[in-house]
Amino acid sequence: MTSVLVVDDVHASYGRFDVLRGVSLRVASGELVAVLGPNGAGKSTLLKTIAGFLAPRQGSITLDGEAIGGLRPPALLRKGIAYVMQRSSLFPKMTIQENLELGAYVRETTDEVRTDIERVLALFPRLAERRRQRAEGLSGGERRMLEIGRGLLLRPRLLLLDEPTMGLAPLVMDLIFDKILEVRATGTTVVMVEQNARRALEVSDRAYVLEQGQTRVEGRGEELLRSEAVRRAYLGSGTAGR
Amino acid sequence: MTAEIVLQSVVSGLMFGGVIALVAVGISLIWGVMDVINFAYGEYLMWAMYLTFFLYAGAGLDPLVSVPVNALVLFAAGVLTYRLVIARVMRGPIFAQLLSTFGLFVLLRYAAWLLFRPDDRQAQSLVSNGVVELRVSTGELVAFVGSVLATTALFWFLTWTKTGKALRAVAQDREAALALGIEPDRLYAIAWGISAAAAGVAGSLVSSFMYVNPLVGDVFLLPGFAAVALGGFGNVYGAFAGGLVIGVVNVTGGTLTMPKVKLALVYLVFLAVLFMRPRGLFGGRRQ
């Protein structure tokens, strides 16, 4: 399989402080890849760097073989990278419909976009019922669905999700993971950062574990679930890890 | 004091309030989208009135005909202001932004003083000398209707067009907008253009019945600010309603008491509202 995304030895920093200190990963077309690791490992920073909110100080990022490191978010969107940030990023005073329309901002407004909006609403029926209501009235899980749906309106080559289940109740979390699997099933390549390592490993094809800004472990989801080292460090079973 | 006089003053107040509403919407748009207070807004309006006057004196253009010309010229001036001045101070402390629009205020006012002298001038329009029912001058009525139409057009733009939606998105969450490919810088420039164009339209509309001199901006700026605060900072719909209220308080209050205190009354209402509802009458957060 060809790689959609290749991150090679990327270093990135806020000010003088290096957060990423040599991260490498590859994502194949159609894969669902999880990025795990303790707090402060640089997971979110990695997604921000791929999405263009932070420029790599060193190393390269390629999308379908084309170097994209250092490009700004609007340029990356046009190349097909959609990014759902960790914090809530909806426009609360705008309707669900309007939020979705803005997801397709860089596309020409055509019937194709309108069809895509219907498709996203079909994927998230709870949003369809409330499309004329303001986003501020949605529950935490519904907000996440709207954010993911808004990302899909780009018809992305690569969908980046930063902690899509953060702060959600377990049942809602399951629902979000199901939806992410549905999205992957439509052929969208997904990279997600997750705190909930066990569930993330269960649903993903492959995973990377970051620690102190570097890639430490890489493997298939079920392999890592069985790996003693990973269990101890990140899954909270066995002796208490960090 | 008869009921007829009160009614008359309320109607006159509404006429003036319509123009203040347009001014308030223009100020509120910039505040709502990028948290900047444009102290120079009244001076844009003053320059728009001079433009109207010179188009009239030089080319015989009726002030009403110059509305679209004014809108376009002031739109360009607004974009230019953003690109040359505001964009550069946006990363600085808030004082840099306050001082730069205050600096623009001083510059625009005294440039006009230097160039045009402090004389009163007035353009004449087809509608300058008419009077309709209740002794409202035709000019004021046309200014009111024109302001309401311009505001309606702006609301329509903000509600239904792609750029209007993007403007609201940037106002609510700049970074989230950027993550969708909406370039805040481009939309800020557009917001400045539209805001200044509103001053351009208002300037043309009032030129048929008002004298222009370098200090005329004050007539609009302070009531405009009061209307913005009344309507809830950054809420353009509230600003419109606030403008109508301020207009009526200004004229009716002055009629019922003494004309000299009418501005004082405006601020009394303004303070009372802020005291009871700090977010403004139509409070709440950003639209």
pLDDT tens digit sequence for B30-55: 999 998 999 999 999 999 999 999 99
Q: Is the dihedral of CA B30, B34, B35, B38 positive or negative?
A: negative
Range of the domain at B115: 26-217
> Closest to B179 (Cβ–Cβ): which among A83, A94, A98?
A83
d(CA A19, CA B242): 49
Structure confidence at residue A1 as a pLDDT band (50, 70, 90): low
- The reply to whether residue B181 touches residue A77, judged by beta carbons under 8 angstroms, is yes
Q: Is residue B223 part of a domain?
A: no
Distance from CA of A225 to the nearest CA of B (A): 33
Where residue B192 falls (left for φ over 0; alpha for ψ -120 to 50; beta otherwise) is: alpha
pLDDT digits (tens, 9 = 90+) for B269-285: 888 877 887 777 766 54
pLDDT at B170 over 70: yes
**Terminus-to-terminus CA distance in chain B, angstroms?**
42
Q: Is residue B232 part of a domain?
A: no
Q: Is residue A147 part of a domain?
A: no
Q: Is residue B176 part of a domain?
A: yes
d(CA B22, CA B19): 5
Number of domains in chain B: 1
Q: Find, in chain B, the residue whose alpha carbon is nearest to that of A107.
A: B181
Tell me which of A29 and A226 has the higher pLDDT: A29
The verdict on B162 touching A (C-beta cutoff 8 Å) is yes
Query: Which of chain B's residues have a Cβ under 8 Å away from the Cβ of A89?
Result: 173, 175-176, 179
Q: What is the pLDDT of residue B262?
A: 81
Residue B146 exposed, middle or buried by CB count within 10 Å (0-12, 13-18, 19+) = buried
- The reply to whether residue B175 touches residue A89, judged by beta carbons under 8 angstroms, is yes
Q: Is residue A216 part of a domain?
A: yes
- The reply to whether residue A106 touches residue B177, judged by beta carbons under 8 angstroms, is no
Query: Which of chain A's residues have a Cβ under 8 Å away from the Cβ of B172?
Result: 91-94
Query: Which of chain A's residues have a Cβ under 8 Å away from the Cβ of B162?
Result: 101, 105, 109
pLDDT digits (tens, 9 = 90+) for A57-71: 999 999 999 999 989
Q: What is the pLDDT of residue B266?
A: 85
Count CA atoms within 13 Å of residue A75 on its CB side: 11
- The reply to whether residue B169 touches residue A91, judged by beta carbons under 8 angstroms, is yes
> Closest to B178 (Cβ–Cβ): which among A73, A101, A103?
A73
Q: What is the pLDDT of residue B5?
A: 82
Chain A positions with Cβ closer than 8 Å to B: 51, 53, 73-74, 77-78, 83, 85, 89-94, 98, 101-103, 105-106, 109, 150
Q: What is the pLDDT of residue B286?
A: 44
Q: What is the pLDDT of residue B224?
A: 93
Q: Is residue A116 part of a domain?
A: no
pLDDT at B256 over 90: no
Q: Find, in chain B, the residue whose alpha carbon is nearest to that of A154.
A: B180
Q: What is the mean pLDDT of chain A?
A: 90
Percentage of residues of chain A with pLDDT beyond 90? 74
pLDDT at A179 over 50: yes
Residue A14 exposed, middle or buried by CB count within 10 Å (0-12, 13-18, 19+) = exposed
Query: Which of chain B's residues have a Cβ under 8 Å away from the Cβ of A100?
Result: none
Structure confidence at residue A236 as a pLDDT band (50, 70, 90): low
Q: Is residue B264 part of a domain?
A: no
Q: What DSSP state is assigned to residue A1? A: -
Q: What is the pLDDT of residue B3?
A: 79
**Mean local confidence (pLDDT), B61-68:** 93
Q: Is residue B122 part of a domain?
A: yes
Range of the domain at A91: 3-96+156-235
Q: What is the pLDDT of residue B57?
A: 93
**Mean local confidence (pLDDT), A106-131:** 92
Q: Find, in chain B, the residue whose alpha carbon is nearest to that of A53.
A: B179
Per the listing, tokens 């080319």 go with: B59
Q: Is residue B230 part of a domain?
A: no
pLDDT digits (tens, 9 = 90+) for B80-138: 999 999 999 988 888 898 999 999 999 999 999 999 988 888 888 777 777 666 677 88
pLDDT at A105 over 50: yes
Q: Is residue A125 part of a domain?
A: no
Query: Which of chain A's residues have a Cβ under 8 Å away from the Cβ of B286?
Result: 93
pLDDT at A241 over 50: no
Which CATH number covers residue A189? 3.40.50.300
Q: Find, in chain A, the residue whose alpha carbon is nearest to that of B179.
A: A73
Q: What is the pLDDT of residue B132?
A: 64
Q: What is the pLDDT of residue A242?
A: 36
Helix (H, G, I), strand (E, B) or coil at A4: strand
> Closest to A102 (Cβ–Cβ): which among B166, B175, B286?
B166
Per the listing, tokens 């060809």 go with: A2
